[in-house]
Amino acid sequence: MRFFFLLSALCAVTVTAANRPNIILLMGDDHGWAETGYYGHPHLKTPVMDEMARTGLRLDHFYAGHPSCSPTRGSVLTGRHPNRYGTFAPGYSLRPQEITIAHLLAKAGYRCGHFGKWHVGPVKKSSPTNPRAMGFHEYVSHDNFYEMDPPFSRNGGPPVVIKGEGSEVTIDETIRFIEDAQQREQPFLAVVWFGSPHEPYSGLPKDLALYDNLPKEYAERTVSLTSNETGRRTKRLLREVLRERYAEITAMDRAIGQLRTRLTELNLRENTVLWYCGDNGSPPSYGRVVTPFREEKGHVYEGGIRVPGLIEWPAKIKQGRISKVNGVTSDMLPTLCAWAGVALPDRPLDGISLTPLVEGKMKTRPQPIGFWSYSARRATRNGAKPYFTAEQQRGTTPLVKLMGDIPTRNFRNYHQPPIEEADYTAGPRVWLDNRHKLVLTGSKPELYDLQTDPAEETNIAEQHPEITNRLSRELRAWQRSVLNSLREKDYPKK
C-alpha cells in the first residue's frame, strides 16, 4: 500500500527564487476548534482570526497530528507521525536523525527561525534537539509554555526574562527576525508557537475587561487548574478562569494582527503565507463551554484533535474560501516543500502537499490520516535504553506549573524494544478517510460517519462491517510502517 509514502521525485516542483513565498507557521497552545469568533463563539473576541477566515482559506476539517502538544509539534517539523520517532506524549523529545522543515528550507536559501514554545527537547545550547540542532538559524524559545514576562533562551543561552505580554513578546521577536531576513534579502521561515492559551492563565487589564460580564451561571462551577502563586493544583470559579483564558486568546489574536500590520509596512504581506492552527483540542472542563464535538484534549475523538486552521496568502488566495477537505499538521512539511521547490526527504512521510487545496483543485483527500496515542509504557519495557543522557534532556527555562518540585521540564526518548503484537493495540488508534472515522480504543471497533454525525454519537460499525474491516486493514498496514520507523529503520546506518 502506498497511501502513506510520498516520493520526492513526484512532489518536487519548479519554483523560482522570485516566486518563493515567505512562510510563517503560527500555533496556539491548547486552542480548540470552537474557540474562535468565526465559529460563532458566544463570548470570545478574535477579530484578526475572523478577518483571516473571511479573506483567506478557512480549513474547517483541520486536525492536530496528536491529541497532545509535543507529538503534534513533531508532526509539523517532520511531516511524520510522532510515533515514528518516539515523541509519544508531552515531554518526549525528537530524535536528532529526524529531518525537519528547517533543515530542508535552509538548504534552499531560507532564513529559518523559531519563536516561543519548543517542547520537543531542551532549548539549551548543549541539547542535541534544540531548534538550532534541528535546522533553525536562530531562535528565542522556551522548553514549554509560558505566561507574562516569559523567560526565553536566545540561541541556547541562559534564560532571560523579556518583559511583556507573552504573545506580544513572541511576535516582537518574530518581527525582529523578519526585518533581519529582509535586510539579508533572504526568504524566511518563522515557526511561531505561542504559550497561550495554555493554563495557568493571566491577562492584561484591557483584555480581562472584555470578559467582565460572562454569564453568572459560570460562577456556579469550580474547576481545577494550576495556581499562578504556588505552581500546584487549585480550584477556582469557572467564570474567573474563562475570563483569563479568553483574555489570553484575544491577546494572541491581537499579536497576530500586529504581525500582519508589520508585514504590510515592510511590503512583505502579499507573498507571505500565514498558517495558523492549534496543537490539540481544548483542555477538559474549562475549555469546553461551547463545542459541537465529543471529548477534549488527550482524546482521539473530534474534540481532542480537530483544531482551528487558517491559511492567508494574498498573492495566491485572492478571496475567502472554506474547505471541508481533511488536513493535518503533518501536511505542513510537504506543502512548504512544494511552495519552496524543495524535494522531500527519502523516508516515509504521513503528510501530503495541500498545494492543490490552496489552489482550489483538491475536492477530497487522496489518502486517509492515521492517529495513534501510543502507550509510552511499551517503549520503556524491559529496561529500554534512553536515547540521550539525563543531562542532555534536562530543561532550563522556568515555568509556573511544577513537575513534582521542579519548576522546569525535562525530556525523554527511548530506543524502542523489539516490536511485539501488543504494540499494535497499545493506545487509542484512528483511521480517518474522507467520510468515515474508525476509532479503536477497546475490544469493539467504533465507526462514525462524520458527514452526518460530526459529534460521534452513533457507532455504525456493526451496520457497515465492510467499511470497518477495510479501514482496519489499512490502519494495520500503516501501523506496521510506523513501528518500523520507531525501530530506527529509516535512519542511515552508522
Is 4's pLDDT higher than 80?
Answer: no
**Does residue 355 share a domain with residue 212?**
yes
Domain end position, chosen among 307, 336, 364:
364
Is 379's pLDDT higher than 60?
Answer: yes
Q: How far apart (Å, rounded) are the C-alpha atoms in residues 184 and 179?
A: 9
**Does residue 187 share a domain with residue 335?**
yes
Residue 284 confidence (pLDDT): 85
Share of the chain above pLDDT 90, in %: 92
Does 474 map to a domain? yes
Residue 380 confidence (pLDDT): 87
Does 156 map to a domain? yes
**Does residue 59 share a domain with residue 149?**
yes
CB atoms within 10 A of CB 245: 30
Which residue type does 15 have?
A: V
**Does residue 407 share a domain with residue 336?**
no
Residue 10 confidence (pLDDT): 37
Confidence band of 341 (pLDDT split at 50, 70, 90) = very high
- Domain CATH number, residue 57: 3.40.720.10
**Does residue 109 share a domain with residue 211?**
yes
**Does residue 350 share a domain with residue 428?**
no
- Domain CATH number, residue 390: 3.30.1120.10
CB atoms within 10 A of CB 270: 13
Residue 3 confidence (pLDDT): 38
Confidence band of 9 (pLDDT split at 50, 70, 90) = very low
**Does residue 181 share a domain with residue 38?**
yes
Domain end position, chosen among 347, 364, 381:
364
Report the domain count for the chain: 2
Residues 133-166 have pLDDT tens digits of: 999 999 999 999 999 999 999 999 999 999 999 9
Q: How far apart (Å, rounded) are the C-alpha atoms in residues 317 and 57?
A: 7
Residue 408 confidence (pLDDT): 96
**Does residue 382 share a domain with residue 345?**
no
Does 145 map to a domain? yes
Residue 7 confidence (pLDDT): 36
Residue 16 confidence (pLDDT): 63
Residue 376 confidence (pLDDT): 87
Sign of CA dihedral 437, 438, 441, 445: positive
What b/e readout covers 119-150, taking b as 16+ CB neighbours within 10 angstroms?
A: bbbbbbeebbbbbbbbbbbbbbbbbbbbbbeb
Is 406's pLDDT higher than 80?
Answer: yes
Residue 198 confidence (pLDDT): 97
Sign of CA dihedral 24, 29, 33, 37: negative
Does 257 map to a domain? yes
Share of the chain above pLDDT 70, in %: 96
Residues 456-476 have pLDDT tens digits of: 999 999 999 999 999 999 999
Does 481 map to a domain? yes
Is 12's pLDDT higher than 50?
Answer: no
Q: Domain range spanning residue 470?
A: 372-486
Q: How far apart (Å, rounded) are the C-alpha atoms in residues 131 and 278?
A: 20
Does 491 map to a domain? no
Is 2's pLDDT higher than 50?
Answer: no
Residue 126 confidence (pLDDT): 98
Task: Write the CB contacts of 86 (distance below 8 Å, at least 6 apart in sequence).
Answer: 92, 95, 379, 387, 413, 414, 416, 486
**Does residue 357 share a domain with residue 386?**
no
Q: Are 379 and 416 in contact (CB under 8 A)?
A: yes
Domain end position, chosen among 312, 343, 364:
364
Residues 270-282 have pLDDT tens digits of: 999 999 999 999 9
Residue 443 confidence (pLDDT): 87
The arithmetic mean of pLDDT across residues 207-227, rounded, is 95
**Does residue 356 share a domain with residue 389?**
no
Does 1 map to a domain? no
Task: Confirm whether pTM is higher than 0.85.
Answer: yes
**Does residue 250 share a domain with residue 211?**
yes
Does 34 map to a domain? yes
The arithmetic mean of pLDDT across residues 203-224, rounded, is 96
Residue 381 confidence (pLDDT): 87
**Does residue 385 share a domain with residue 335?**
no
Confidence band of 5 (pLDDT split at 50, 70, 90) = very low
